[in-house]
Amino acid sequence: MAVAETTVAATCAAAKRAARTLASTSTGAKNAALEATARLLEERTAEILEANAADLADEHAAQLSAALRDRLALSADRVAAMAAGVRAVAALEDPVGEELEHRTLASGLDLRKVRVPLGVVAVVYEARPNVTIDCAALTIKSGNAIVLRGSSYAERSNGALAAIVREALAETDLPADAVLLLAGGGHEGLAELATQDGLVDLLIPRGGEGLKAALKDVATVPVMYAAAGNCHVYVHADADLEMARRIAVNAKVQRPGVCNAAETLLIDAAIAARFVPAVLSDLDAVGVELVGDERVRSFAGEVGVGAATEADWDDEFLGLKMAVAVVDSVEDAIEHVNRHGTGHSEAIVTGSEEAAEEFAAGVDSAAVYINASTRFTDGFEYGMGAEIGNSTQKLHARGPIGMRELTTFKYVARGDGQVRE
């Protein structure tokens, strides 16, 4: 079965054994496994959708928000997109063995710095079954094994998808245990996974601040947080207002339940009287619930805007709700973003190169957009083929976590008998 029914420790140990094999597997063999995965996804679409329908009908999913149900739901098009994503990963250059540095030392040693896999990557994630495939594809190509722990309400979908990858691995004579799926386990199981020293080389949680806090209390293995996205769009005084309207609406509504959707819209005071009524009308027309500060509400006209609470500025709504504020300058916008944001993705709309550069330099974020939607912070959009998540940390990796972010390096020194005096 795809879902591991042994202990967490035994599962991680099996993944560790598989990782040692995969680390030295050729690019051709890894690509063959990925192509087999893509083919099986296409051949088993009906089976995958049947499992997903059972998840959606289960009582575990009954209380999910509309945005979370959208993240859980699969369709033939979404399965086809998974297959295309796997093939895109296969087409990318293999990072393993990449030479990062090469020089001869004073001792005569020939020193190379080369990229190598991390080993075993564990991923904890919620709702989205496509994460199962994205993560598996990235770890296979980067020479890592993976232990997956998804949500209980996506158990059937994740099980069907993980089984397909394991079948593809076995079909191409690679260890099936390079992809393992843990079932449930609650907080105790999560804590056990987060303390598998010597077996798990990196843990990546994809979820809200609650998951992040729970892991910070117990984790003894390295953790890379694919954290929440409280993202902002700032419309500067020199913005093209029609462009700004398009960007604000797209950043909020194109897919509101994801981490790179905008949660807050900041509007320069110099254009507020002209811009606020128009953009609020646009957002209201597509069903966005609006809350704002006093100045925004004074310009709202017939559009209903609730009074924003202090908590609203810090909230990742993950749905059709947006907080709107008027700010007096680029400096004020930067200060607001850095005080309330999560360091994920921020955008400025402006015709001023000076303002654009000031904003880009001033906001403390993994991704900054000038005259573009925040929705582009994505592994596929960045040409990485896929991603495991978006890191808001500053060490090891920041932004989309793709194949290269799942590797480390080693130094290989070649000599002809040197000893140190």
pLDDT given at position 3: 52
Q: Which helix (H) or strand (E) holds 305?
A: none
pTM of the model: 0.83
> Would you say residue 185 has pLDDT above 70?
no
> Would you say residue 386 has pLDDT above 80?
no
pLDDT tens digit string along 32-42?
999 999 999 99
Whole-angstrom Cα distance, residue 81 to residue 130? 9
pLDDT: is 183 or 220 the higher one?
220
Q: Which helix (H) or strand (E) holds 179?
A: strand 179-182
pLDDT given at position 388: 85
**Domain spans of the chain, in order of start:** 3-226+388-414, 231-376
Provide mean pLDDT across the span 40-51.
98
pLDDT given at position 390: 83
> What Å distances lie between residue 327 and 290, 333, 337, 338, 406, CA to CA?
17, 6, 11, 14, 40
> Would you say residue 340 has pLDDT above 60?
yes
> What Å distances lie between residue 381 and 269, 274, 363, CA to CA?
33, 33, 22
Q: Which helix (H) or strand (E) holds 84?
A: helix 76-91
3-class DSSP string for 188-246: HHHHHHCCCCCCCCEEEEECCHHHHHHHHHHCCCCECCECCCCEEEEECCCCCHHHHHH
Strand, helix or coil at 116?
strand
pLDDT given at position 227: 67
pLDDT tens digit string along 247-298?
999 999 998 988 899 999 999 999 999 999 999 999 999 999 999 999 999 9
Whole-angstrom Cα distance, residue 192 to residue 177? 19
> What Å distances lie between residue 222 and 73, 119, 227, CA to CA?
31, 12, 15
Three-point CA angle 233, 239, 244, nearest 5°: 50
pLDDT given at position 96: 97
pLDDT given at position 389: 80
pLDDT band for position 358 (cuts 50, 70, 90) = very high
pLDDT: is 185 or 332 the higher one?
332
Name the CATH superfamily for 231-376: Aldehyde Dehydrogenase; Chain A, domain 2 (3.40.309.10)
pLDDT tens digit string along 188-198?
888 999 999 99
DSSP characters over 269-299: GGGHHHHHHHHHHHHHHTT-EEEE-HHHHHT
On the question of a common fold for 3-226+388-414 and 231-376, the answer reads: no
Whole-angstrom Cα distance, residue 332 to residue 369? 18
pLDDT band for position 361 (cuts 50, 70, 90) = very high
CATH of span 3-226+388-414: 3.40.605.10
Lowest mean pLDDT among 18-27, 82-91, 222-231, 365-374: 222-231
Whole-angstrom Cα distance, residue 67 to residue 82? 20
Provide mean pLDDT across the span 215-222.
90
- Burial of residue 105, with CB atoms counted within 10 A of its CB: 0-12 exposed, 13-18 middle, 19 or more buried: exposed
> Would you say residue 370 has pLDDT above 50?
yes
Whole-angstrom Cα distance, residue 201 to residue 223? 9
pLDDT given at position 167: 98
3-class DSSP string for 341-357: CCCCEEEEECCCHHHHH
Looking at every residue in the chain, the average pLDDT score rounds to 93
Output the CA torsion sign for 314, 128, 260, 361. Answer: positive
pLDDT: is 308 or 258 the higher one?
308
pLDDT band for position 71 (cuts 50, 70, 90) = confident
pLDDT band for position 1 (cuts 50, 70, 90) = very low
Share of the chain above pLDDT 90, in %: 80
